Structure 1
Amino acid sequence: MSSSSNEPPVPWLSAAEQEVWRNFLRLSRGMERAVDRQLQRDSELSGSEYDILVPLSEAASGELPSRELLRGLGWERSRLSHMLSRMERRDMLRRSPSPTDGRGLVVAITDHGREAIGRAAPAHLAMVREALVDHLSQDEKSALLSIARKVLPRLAAMGLA
């Protein structure tokens, strides 16, 4: 199970650990698929487009540096660039050179982008509530938040997030 003979072997997951891991993957992937399907069914947005429009719509100025979007989304630069080009062609956002970073871009939501997320948000939030939030106790919500706050920084420290 080790990657080289100089490293100690990595212990296999116990049956209980395997159950946790596999069910976490099923939950995570299942929610992601459900969000994508719901958005595609009920709006003109994909899950990725919604993910981009949310922080732009929440920003006081309606714009963010592309580096900040990239960091917040945790995507590869090429994926963000492709999505921004696609959304710009659909008049959901516009890109312009950053006034403070000669190599950077500023991404701004357009009126059409605001309208699109405004139409998509109610059904999306209803699905998130129905599928997840309303079925968790406050202790379960707190536990999920605690887990995310432990694991996400660890992934970043490992260079994986």
Structure 2
Amino acid sequence: MSEDGRASTRDAWRRREPRWLDKDQQRSWRALVLGSTLLFDRLDEDLRSQHGISLVEYEILVRLSESEGELRMARLADSLAHSRSRVTHTVKRMEADGLVQRCESPDDGRGVICRMTDRGDLLLRNVAPSHVAGVRDYLVDLVDADDFAALGRVMNAVADRLIGDHPERELRDDRG
């Protein structure tokens, strides 16, 4: 290979070099990863121990309650950013517990609707106060209101950037 060819290859590799995080950025990134993992694990653990329901099951009930009690299974999976098979498995378990029921879509007969039952609604109403207490204890009340607002802006910027790849996951109705 000629010297020009080697120089061209070196230039190409330099252009592929990522913009590495500096020390402060790396520290913040790792804090986000660790903090969010611990937060979601703790919220899940609390819901399981206090109410016998997982965080994903709780979120399914929340999504249903925010959608007049029912959603197509595909839309439900998209809204949770989970695979359809994972949501189907979770909904099947919840159906066995009497929290939801699945039925054919009256619109086209092809889609499947997940509908919250009265028992699911009652459970959600009983679980929500302790869940929001956990969210307050483990996050909201730990930080200054301005910092929490900044976190919201940061996560909305992330969602704005990534939602274009999956517009079906857009749940925010307060944009604007």
In the TM superposition, residue 7 of structure 1 has moved relative to its aligned partner by 6.0
What CA distance in whole angstroms lies between the structure 2 residues aligned with 1:134 and 1:128?
A: 8
RMSD, aligned α-carbons: 2.0
Task: Give 1:8's match in structure 2, choosing from 12, 16, 32.
Answer: 16
TM-score normalized by the length of structure 1 = 0.87
What does 1:66-81 correspond to in 2, within 5 Å? 66-81=73-88
Q: Decide which of 3, 27, 31 is 2:35's aligned counterpart.
A: 27
77-86 vs 126-135, greater mean Cα deviation = 126-135
- Equivalence for 2:102: 95
Amino acid at match of 1:31: L
Q: What residue is the counterpart of 2:9 in the other structure?
A: none
2:141 corresponds to which residue? 134
Corresponding residue for residue 3 of structure 2: none
The answer on 1:111 being equivalent to 2:83 is no
Alpha-carbon distance between aligned partners in 2 of 1:12 and 1:135, rounded to the nearest angstrom: 30
Structure 1 ranges of 4+ moved more than 6 A: none
| Aligned-pair identity (%) | 35
Rounded to whole Å, the distance in 1 between the matches of 2:138 and 2:119 is 28
SS in 2 for 1:91: coil
Provide the TM-score with structure 2 as the length reference: 0.80
Partner Cα separation in structure 2 for residue 24 and residue 127 of structure 1: 18
Counterpart of 1:58 in structure 2: which amino acid?
E
Q: CA deviation at 1:135?
A: 2.4
Q: Residues 88-116 of structure 1, C-alpha deviation per residue, up to 9 Å, x if partnerless?
A: 11111001111224431111111111122
Larger displacement relative to structure 2 (65-74 or 142-151): 65-74
Q: 2:64 aligned to 56, 63, 74, which one?
A: 56
Runs of at least 5 residues in structure 2 that lack an aligned partner in the other structure: 1-11, 170-176
